[in-house]
Amino acid sequence: MSASAQSTLAVADPPEASCLVSVVIPCLNEAENIEECVGIALAAMEKAEIPGEVVVADNGSEDGSAELAELAGARVVHEPLRGYGSAYLAGFAAARGRYIVMADADLTYDFNEIPRFLAELEAGGDMVIGNRMDNIHPGAMPWHHRYIGNPLLSNFLNLLFHTGVSDAHCGMRAFRREHLERLDLRTTGMEFASEMVVRAAKAKLDIRQLPIEYHARGGESKLSSFRDGWRHLRFLILHSPRHLFILPGAVIATVGALICGMVAAHIDVLGRQWAVHTLIGGSLMLIVGSQIVSLGLCALAYATYFMGEHDPWFERMSRRYRLEHGLMLGATVALLGVAMVAVIMAQWIHSGFGNLVQERVAITAATLVVLGTQIAFTSFLLSILGLRRR
């Protein structure tokens, strides 16, 4: 870091002059590595003349890690609630620097890279994330993380949230502390790494990436492939109602509607006519699909009104359509079904209550009544969710 950059910052904000950077390290039983991590971080900052501190967020270590960190010169904060995210949240809350650099307490990341990360922030970046994928040392990452877990989860994250971050689970990152409020991080486990990237992209922060090396770990890994992989996946799908509900629901409902239409119109497909059993299948898909879409709309409403999320499509729809529109649509669809039932009843009475052979019409009528009722009551629920919106 240049001397001029430091002096500009010192003049602009005197209280931070003595602490430009907080290096935050989460720690759970890392006695083998923690002293060296703290030592390298402090030495790297001293060498680059960066005024800073090292904060170790200890997560209830039972091997004396906290004491060793303190002896090595770190400020230790204690977080009893277990988890990578919990540890970081406690560390961030205690950090005093203008910038925060974060990395594991296991010597997999090189703290000598701190000045490179800071240079990107000083050049205007809001968040800098390492990319380990081209520089993984032998034994540093199991093959199923390297070639399956990490690429799959990173690609899925980008498919849903378009962050452009190649190595979304890299643990060495830096960001401006002032962004913590906008990031509003909450998760407690390993999915914290995904949450940071997703929240930063949603907040439209300038995210930059730096190629870094990934070394073999000292001490025992705390990562559990399946439990932590699932926690990442769960976080991603729960934060994307459009992909979890709306898209699959709409596809299922559309296929169901096409099947119902094909049977009702006696259209030949694959060289044969399809009858009542196929209609039941189509009707089932139409009902299930529309139910999933209804749940998705409620999830989007909740996310928009109570979680501060922005979904342009949902916001456009909720501006355009009101409760009354939903009620009118629901009533029309349900009444169409009721009218079909009335016609069947009339025929039945007319035939002197004889045998009824109106299965197709009856199934279609029942489906329409279910759909209409669902549309009307989903509209009510959406309105209720919107009552307290700000």
Ligand X SMILES: Nc1nc2c(ncn2[C@@H]2O[C@H](COP(=O)(O)OP(=O)(O)OP(=O)(O)O)[C@@H](O)[C@H]2O)c(=O)[nH]1
Q: Which residues bind Mg ion (CB under 5 A)?
A: 104, 106, 108
Q: Rule CB under 6 A: is residue 35 a binding residue for ligand X? A: no
Q: Rule CB under 6 A: is residue 154 a binding residue for ligand X? A: no
The interface region with ligand X, picked from 25-33, 94-102, 322-330, 358-366 by CB under 6 A, is 25-33
**DSSP string across 183-200:** H-----STTHHHHHHHHH
Residue number, 82 or 177, with CB nearest to ligand X:
82
Q: Rule CB under 6 A: is residue 104 a binding residue for ligand X? A: yes
Q: Rule CB under 6 A: is residue 105 a binding residue for ligand X? A: yes
The interface region with ligand X, picked from 45-53, 216-224, 248-256, 275-283 by CB under 6 A, is 216-224
Q: Are 195 and 237 in contact (CB under 8 A)?
A: no
Most distant CA atoms of the chain, gap in Å: 100
Residue number, 197 or 375, with CB nearest to Mg ion:
197
40 binds, among Mg ion, ligand X, none (CB under 5 to 8 A by kind): none
Question: Of the candidates 246, 248, 237, which has an alpha carbon nearest to the alpha carbon of residue 300?
Answer: 246
Residue number, 82 or 208, with CB nearest to ligand X:
82
Cα separation, 310 vs 199, in Å, equals 12
Place of tokens 């259209």: 267
> What is the distance of C-alpha 390 from the center of its chain?
23
Residue 280 contacts by C-beta under 8 Å, 6 or more apart in sequence?
363
Window 58 to 77, contacts with ligand X (CB under 6 A) = 59
Q: How many Cβ atoms are within 10 Å of 345's Cβ, its own excluded?
A: 12
**DSSP string across 271-316:** TB---HHHHHHHHHHHHHHHHHHHHHHHHHHHHHHHS----HHHHH
> How many amino acids of this chain bind ligand X (CB under 6 A)?
19
Residue number, 79 or 120, with CB nearest to ligand X:
79
Q: Which of 53, 106, 113, 191 binds ligand X (CB under 6 A)?
A: 106
Q: How many Cβ atoms are within 10 Å of 252's Cβ, its own excluded?
A: 20
The interface region with ligand X, picked from 44-52, 78-86, 160-168, 203-211 by CB under 6 A, is 78-86
Cα separation, 197 vs 222, in Å, equals 21
Q: Rule CB under 6 A: is residue 217 a binding residue for ligand X? A: yes
Place of tokens 């709409």: 250
Q: Tell me the closest approach of the beta carbon of residue 103 to Mg ion, in angstroms.
A: 8
Using CB under 6 A as the criterion, which residues of the chain lie in contact with ligand X when the complex forms? Answer: 26-28, 30, 59, 82-84, 87, 104-106, 108, 171, 190, 217, 221-223
